[in-house]
Protein backbone atom coordinates (compact mmCIF):
# COMPACT_ATOMS: atom_id res chain seq x y z
CA UNK A 1 0.00 0.00 0.00
CA UNK A 2 2.79 2.45 0.97
CA UNK A 3 4.86 1.50 -2.08
CA UNK A 4 1.80 1.98 -4.31
CA UNK A 5 1.06 5.44 -2.83
CA UNK A 6 4.69 6.54 -3.16
CA UNK A 7 4.79 5.35 -6.79
CA UNK A 8 1.59 7.22 -7.69
CA UNK A 9 2.82 10.39 -5.96
CA UNK A 10 6.22 10.23 -7.68
CA UNK A 11 4.77 9.68 -11.16
CA UNK A 12 2.10 12.34 -10.59
CA UNK A 13 4.52 14.95 -9.22
CA UNK A 14 6.75 14.58 -12.24
CA UNK A 15 3.90 14.87 -14.76
CA UNK A 16 2.04 17.68 -12.95
CA UNK A 17 5.20 19.81 -12.68
CA UNK A 18 5.75 19.33 -16.40
CA UNK A 19 2.12 20.26 -17.22
CA UNK A 20 2.24 23.25 -14.86
CA UNK A 21 5.34 24.62 -16.56
CA UNK A 22 3.43 24.48 -19.86
CA UNK A 23 0.36 26.12 -18.27
CA UNK A 24 -2.01 23.32 -19.30
CA UNK A 25 -4.74 23.59 -16.63
CA UNK A 26 -7.29 21.34 -18.33
CA UNK A 27 -4.67 18.61 -18.71
CA UNK A 28 -3.85 18.87 -15.00
CA UNK A 29 -7.55 18.48 -14.10
CA UNK A 30 -7.87 15.36 -16.30
CA UNK A 31 -4.64 14.02 -14.83
CA UNK A 32 -5.85 14.55 -11.25
CA UNK A 33 -9.06 12.69 -12.15
CA UNK A 34 -6.96 9.74 -13.35
CA UNK A 35 -4.87 9.89 -10.15
CA UNK A 36 -8.01 9.80 -7.96
CA UNK A 37 -9.45 6.81 -9.86
CA UNK A 38 -6.09 4.99 -9.65
CA UNK A 39 -5.70 5.65 -5.91
CA UNK A 40 -9.32 4.67 -5.15
CA UNK A 41 -9.17 1.38 -7.09
CA UNK A 42 -5.65 0.71 -5.81
CA UNK A 43 -6.68 1.09 -2.16
CA UNK A 44 -9.86 -0.91 -2.75
CA UNK A 45 -7.87 -3.83 -4.19
CA UNK A 46 -4.80 -3.68 -1.95
CA UNK A 47 -6.83 -3.36 1.28
CA UNK A 48 -8.23 -6.85 0.59
CA UNK A 49 -6.97 -8.68 -2.53
CA UNK A 50 -9.40 -11.53 -1.78
CA UNK A 51 -12.52 -9.40 -2.08
CA UNK A 52 -14.92 -10.08 -4.96
CA UNK A 53 -13.22 -9.46 -8.31
CA UNK A 54 -14.45 -7.23 -11.14
CA UNK A 55 -15.35 -10.36 -13.17
CA UNK A 56 -17.31 -11.75 -10.22
CA UNK A 57 -19.08 -8.43 -9.68
CA UNK A 58 -20.05 -8.07 -13.37
CA UNK A 59 -21.25 -11.67 -13.75
CA UNK A 60 -23.29 -11.34 -10.52
CA UNK A 61 -24.79 -8.15 -11.91
CA UNK A 62 -26.14 -9.93 -15.00
CA UNK A 63 -27.48 -12.82 -12.93
CA UNK A 64 -24.72 -15.45 -13.19
CA UNK A 65 -22.69 -16.68 -10.26
CA UNK A 66 -19.09 -17.86 -10.69
Partner 1 sequence: MLSHQEKISFRQAVILFITLLYSPAIRFFPTQAAAEAKQAGWLTPLVSFVFLLLLVLVFHSFYKKHRDASWMDIICKITGKYLGSVILSAYIGWLVILLVLYTRYYAIRINTAIAPASDISFFIIVMLVLVAVVLRYGLVVFARMGEIIALLLLIGFALLFVFSTKNISIDNLTPISRLDILPVIKGSYYLAGLWAYFVVLFFFSDKIKYKEAIKNIGIKGAVFLTVMHILLSVMTIGSLGYSVTARSSLPFYMTVKNITVLRALDRIEALAVTQWIIADFILIIVFFYSILCIIKYLFKLSDTKFLIGILTILMYILSLYIAKSQFELEEFSVMVAIHLNILFGFIIPVLLLIAGKIRQQL
- Residues that bind partner 1 in the complex, under the rule CB under 8 A: 4, 7-8, 11-12, 14-15, 18-19, 24, 26-27, 30-31, 34-35, 37-38, 41-42, 44-46, 49-50, 53-56, 58-59, 62, 64, 66
How many C-beta atoms lie closer than 10 Å to residue 24's C-beta?
13
Q: Are 8 and 35 in contact (CB under 8 A)?
A: yes
Q: How far is the CB of 2 from partner 1 (least distance, A)?
A: 15
Indicate the residue among 2 and 62 with the shorter CB distance to partner 1.
62
| CA-based nearest residue to 4, from 53, 36, 39 | 39
Amino acid sequence: MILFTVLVILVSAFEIMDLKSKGQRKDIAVYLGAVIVTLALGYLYLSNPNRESIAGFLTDMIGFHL
